[in-house]
Amino acid sequence: MIIGVGIDVAEIERFEASLARTPGMAERLFCDRELLLPSGERRGVASLAARFAAKEALAKALGAPAGLRWTDAEVCVEESGQPRLRVTGTVAARAAEMGVRSWHVSLSHDAGVASAVVIAEG
């Protein structure tokens, strides 16, 4: 059963400008594994914008409650390339309250816009 659905978009250029003008913003929004590629290089801004959109979409799927920590939701990528959500702390607690047992996430970025859809399933 679907418990919640969220969608969000992020203008990549605007997101990049926000990261540039706000020191430490990326570290407040993302876990180290989200910021870095397996090679150790920093992930590109379009990819980060899509991950930010996924976190916003996840919050919407949970009813957008106050108090969720950005780093309590992590966008992971399986070996197949499929994105997955890993939730802990405040996000996991809210999901448990709502009966969420699994997540579905889709990310995209094209034409200067990053987007994400998150479905919470119980």
Q: Tell me whether residue 8 is annotated as binding.
A: yes
Could you give the angle at the alpha carbon of 26 between the alpha carbons of 20 and 29, nearest 5°? 140
Binding residues: 8, 56
Binding residues for Mg(2+): 8, 56
